[in-house]
Structure 1
Amino acid sequence: MASIKLERPLPPTPPLSDDEQSPRLFCHLPDVLSKLSNPQLRYERKMGDTELSYFLPSRQSGVNDMYLHLGFRAAEQFVRRSRVATVWAILRLRHPLLAATVEMHDYDDVRFVYSAPTNVDDALADANSNLEYRDHSKDVLIDSYLNGPRTLSNSRLSYLIVSSPSSHSIPTPPLTPTSAEELATDLQPAVERPEDKQHDILICAMHFLGDGMALHAFANDFFGLLGSEKSDSELKLQLVDEWEMRWGSPAHDTSILPRSLEENMPVKWTRIRRAAARVDFLMSQEELVGGQVFPRRKHPERHTVVPTVSFPTDRTKAMLKKCKSNGVSISAALFAVCNVAWARMGGGRKELPIMMYSALNLRPYFTVKQPSPWDSYWFLAIGYFNVILPNFLPQDGDKVEAIFWHRARQAKEQSTVAAKHPLVVSRTHEMARERGKRARRWGKEDDEKEKGTWTPPCPPSTSSPPLEPVLPARAESSSTALLGLSLLGNLDGIYKHANFPSIRMHTLTTGSRQRHGAMLLFGYTFAGKLWVSLGYDENGFAGDVVDSFWAELIGCMEEFLG
């Protein structure tokens, strides 16, 4: 539960943008005194295990820091700094974690800290200090975020970058991944206006703040305000109303910060239930068998690339129709695409299966509701599940297509079982405890190694006899996953394009800063097109194995999906 304190902080120094070459040396004394004379409300809460498992590994190089790029065409009046900053300020009021900071007291005591804005000017200043304008192309924006110096930090959990390139020609919109049963019917017509120009926006946020669904819901709200018919003055009046609703009254709810994942799906634990949950979790982990892995190599530098392919609207509709006729979604078909592509490469022992992992949306399992107006959707709500498929194909080439659709249906069945399992809540809690425990241990070890104080742990004592195993004996097997799939579904069901007709979106790319040797496939539908993209560390894999896999993957989509 959040706690509330009173403090009198000094005004924060706005972060330097790329354009600022020197720090500010002077400030207005009246402004400082004004801030000091107004006590600022401070709210804080400890991170849960799942949030910790994302925070601790991110500290050094920003592993898992999320980004969402959206390319669009609109008149310049919609991307003026004053308008964008006002919209950004409104949404930072609605979602306080975006404007929070992090304080680490110990490995099991890391806290979100939110200092409420004392007035509307403070809210607007905070938004402006976390907003940057550039003159870069989409590819430069994404590459600098993924491979350059870290953009985010403990004092900057979210950031917004707007780019309106003027020095390069407007690129042809890249193909975007889409995974959905049907396309939304409210897509706006592609009406080109002479005053419309190309713009790019990059929304940056720490992964421990929320997941991909929070990121896309936020982007839809952002463009709904930015592209609305309201004038700049009307949006500023809305900002005043939003601040008054939350902070105009002297009484404040102490639960303004969204709860952790574990608090949102509480369990009434008893000793027996805890023991049963632990045994079930361990047995479920024993079922994970996967012997396929991309050959890796050690390299001192990580460099993430994101090759992306999209399919035209008419082909996308045909692909979705073919999936539906075979009883699967495009998401299930993408598991089969990866499976067949890897099997055709002959990249591993045929008797060992292929395991792939994906995210599970846990929002339907939440039982705790946040009171209005603090009902933010910025919180973590993801678990994980695995799909395991064979690593061989029939020698008769005419039967491969039938096998492909059979494995797509197997992927669908395994995904459904994971989502509807009666013990999904207890398994989520056990996984959170396991991930949090590992993150604390590894985080402490990393810090000690950096300081030069780390010593290997002592071997376990052999004075007492080993405990009898609880689980049935089984042969040793690998639980290595080939890759992860982030299947976002039909994003045109999230983006209500008709609500911002003056803005025409055409490109969406998403991902996060990765660790060495990481790989994640994205699949989704957006702007009527099916998109697939592969984010991976090109320095972390041997030879041209990833290029070969990517070519096989696209070939399988062409062959089986049409």
Structure 2
Amino acid sequence: MTSATSEITTKGLNTLVHDVEKLSLYNPAHSENGSLEALRAVERQLGETEVSYFLPSRESGVNDMYLHLGCLAQPNHIDRDRIRLAWTIMRLRHPLLGSKVIMNDYNDIRFRYETPLSPDAALTIADQNLEFRSQTKDALIDSYLNGRRTLSNERLSYLVVAFTKTQEDVEHNFDFLICATHFLGDGMALHQFANDFFGLLGGSIDEAGLRQKLEAEWKDYCASEMPLPSSLEDRLPLNLSSKFRQAAAQVDFQLSQKRDIGGHAFPKQSKGERHTVVPTVSYDSVKTKKILSTCKTHGVSISAALFAICNVAWSRVQSKNRHLPIMMYSALNLRPNLRAEKRLHDSYWFIAIGYFNIILPSFLPIKGDLPSIFWHRARSAKVQSASAAKHSMAVSRCFETAKLRGARARLWAKEDDDKAAGIVPPPKPVCADSKTPQKPKVPSTALMGLSLLGNLDGIYKHVNFPSIKMHTLTTGSRQRSGGMLLFGYTFAGKLWVSFGYDENGIEEATVKCFWDGVANAIDEFLA
């Protein structure tokens, strides 16, 4: 009997579980006398934010994330065995990547992680979620975004490696595609994971050393207590100890929702099944330095400037609803707000994002100093972003948002399931007093979303994998019909702006005019 088993036997399972309702330990292997022999699996309930991403993903993988990294390396520095070993080690460190989802009903959805019984078993399982191809970058990304779903409830992460020879016996071009469901984590987890993975793959440890590390980490991570990372909601430092605090949080949330006003959207069309394209522009290191310097001179980050870029580009495209502002949304990194986990082998693979909106005017003056107006709007975006992150009620707002998103996801999932089963919904009740005047609803339409990742060279420690020269990064997710999301980040010393959208679900002339307007505005105001 192992020491971990002895501790379980003497103290009971409850000593290892911080919340019996949300974390359950299963141990199917027993010795002949019925005593517990090994800790085999662990489960926990999905949190509300995780539920809000899981339920829409079931049919076609909406929001399934990908991270593409293109690099040059000598083939003896990146071979299949090294990739398998590094991938296995990382999956051991982050058990959600190797988990599955079990859905009993809309209110009982669980992660289940089954512990590999040996290092070789871990290697075999990881290898089943790893694929090598000979494929171009564009084909690789297109097949993930528009082909059959790669992931599933049983496969929450996957790694694809494509390679082409560029110089005889000197170097190959490798394209890595790291895939994970969005309810597992967020962009910060994805990029930190990639940095750590390449640190193993391109570091100084040889293959024998990686094998030893795999065996040592299997003992650390699988032969002892192995709790899953807690959900976002369990990590939020909430202080709702009284009914007054709970009521205050709900009132603040409702008031904040009413301030979200937007009256602009891309015109929709239906030309067939969803087909996501990702046009991307990058700026060389000289131009990037100039762009970043210009932003700094005007007291804003490139992220704030990109909100203003999209604002100007859209204002030049459309002429309707000038009296209504443009609203754009973005993700809020909540990791600085979370309680630290006091657990063995804690993982950064969990979703920890909230949401905030940027609201800017939709008109441009016929006369006036347009650059001054542009930078004024960029500074307004900066102030609004900072307010969302530092507001005294930011944590409670995120908690209320998570509850609302979870409830909506369950409602919509049931409607979809009923429709698929041929169940006709009952008619909606008619208001008894139809003569009562209704207060006009303020429009709250968002034009688009922006995912502004900042300086990714602060995450990727290129010096730790000197045998690998990274040159390209593209990221995004599978979208729903008519979806769109703009990404902005710096990587490998270059500024990258990419625009993922459903070309069959959005009116073609408008979206292309807007994208051209984004590039033109960057040249006009930043470069």
Displacement of 1:197: 1.2
Q: Is the 8 A contact 1:40 1:117 kept in 2?
A: no
1:89-109 Cα shifts (integer Å, max 9, x gaps): 101110000000000001011
The correspondence for 1:554, drawn from 503, 519, 525, is 519
The correspondence for 1:289, drawn from 242, 258, 261, is 261
Residue 316 (1) aligns with residue 288 (2)? yes
Letter in 1 for 2:364: L
Displacement of 1:474: 6.7
Distance 2:481 2:326 in 1: 21
Residue 4 (1) aligns with residue 35 (2)? no
Q: 1:230 to 1:418 in 2, by over 3 A?
A: same
Q: Which moved more, 1:474-483 or 1:378-387?
A: 474-483
Partner residue, 1:426: 396
1:471-526 Cα shifts (integer Å, max 9, x gaps): xx975321001000000000000000011110000000000000000110000000
Q: Is the 8 A contact 1:310 1:529 kept in 2?
A: yes
1:376-455 equivalences under 5 Å are 376-396=347-367, 399-455=369-425
Q: 1:457 to 1:111 in 2, by over 3 A?
A: farther
Residue 481 (1) aligns with residue 446 (2)? yes
Distance 1:548 1:370 in 2: 51
Q: The residue matched to 2:404 in structure 1 has which SS?
A: helix
Partner residue, 1:60: 59
Partner residue, 1:336: 308
Letter in 2 for 1:360: L
Partner residue, 1:180: none
Gaps spanning 5+ residues in structure 1: where? 10-36, 171-191
Q: The residue matched to 1:163 in structure 2 has which SS?
A: strand
Instruction: With the length of structure 2 as denominator, give the TM-score of the two structures.
Output: 0.91
1:61-140 equivalences under 5 Å are 61-140=60-139
Q: 1:407 to 1:163 in 2, by over 3 A?
A: same
Letter in 1 for 2:354: G
Aligned residues: 500
1:111-260 equivalences under 5 Å are 111-166=110-165, 195-249=170-224, 252=225, 256-260=227-231
Q: Is the 8 A contact 2:164 2:172 kept in 1?
A: no
Partner residue, 1:185: none
Distance 2:88 2:430 in 1: 54
Displacement of 1:8: 5.5
Letter in 2 for 1:413: V
Distance 1:350 1:217 in 2: 42
The correspondence for 2:486, drawn from 521, 529, 532, is 521
Residue 264 (1) aligns with residue 235 (2)? yes
Partner residue, 1:354: 326
Q: Is the 8 A contact 2:64 2:181 kept in 1?
A: yes
Distance 1:461 1:4 in 2: 49
Report sequence identity in percent: 57
Q: The residue matched to 1:132 in structure 2 has which SS?
A: strand
1:249-297 Cα shifts (integer Å, max 9, x gaps): 5xx25xx100000001142422221111111111100001001111111
Letter in 2 for 1:538: E
Distance 2:364 2:25 in 1: 61
| Structure showing greater relative contact order (alpha-carbon pairs closer than 8 Å, 6 or more residues apart) | 1
Letter in 1 for 2:229: P
Q: 1:39 to 1:457 in 2, by over 3 A?
A: farther
Letter in 1 for 2:257: Q
Gaps spanning 5+ residues in structure 2: where? 1-18, 31-35
Q: Is the 8 A contact 2:237 2:337 kept in 1?
A: no
Q: Which moved more, 1:240-249 or 1:85-94?
A: 240-249
1:291-337 Cα shifts (integer Å, max 9, x gaps): 11111113440000000000000000000000000010000000000
Q: The residue matched to 1:78 in structure 2 has which SS?
A: coil
Q: Is the 8 A contact 1:335 1:408 kept in 2?
A: yes
Please tell me the root mean square deviation across aligned C-alpha atoms, in Å. Answer: 2.1
Displacement of 1:344: 1.1
Q: 1:387 to 1:279 in 2, by over 3 A?
A: same
Distance 1:200 1:496 in 2: 18
Q: The residue matched to 1:77 in structure 2 has which SS?
A: coil
Q: Is the 8 A contact 1:258 1:370 kept in 2?
A: no
Instruction: With the length of structure 1 as denominator, give the TM-score of the two structures.
Output: 0.86
Q: The residue matched to 1:164 in structure 2 has which SS?
A: strand
Distance 1:144 1:370 in 2: 40
Partner residue, 1:365: 337
Letter in 1 for 2:104: H
Q: The residue matched to 1:118 in structure 2 has which SS?
A: coil
Q: Which moved more, 1:38-47 or 1:151-160?
A: 38-47
Q: Is the 8 A contact 2:309 2:518 kept in 1?
A: yes
Distance 1:245 1:460 in 2: 61
Letter in 2 for 1:208: F
Distance 2:424 2:28 in 1: 37
Q: The residue matched to 2:442 in structure 1 has which SS?
A: coil
Q: 1:417 to 1:462 in 2, by over 3 A?
A: same
Q: 1:515 to 1:554 in 2, by over 3 A?
A: same
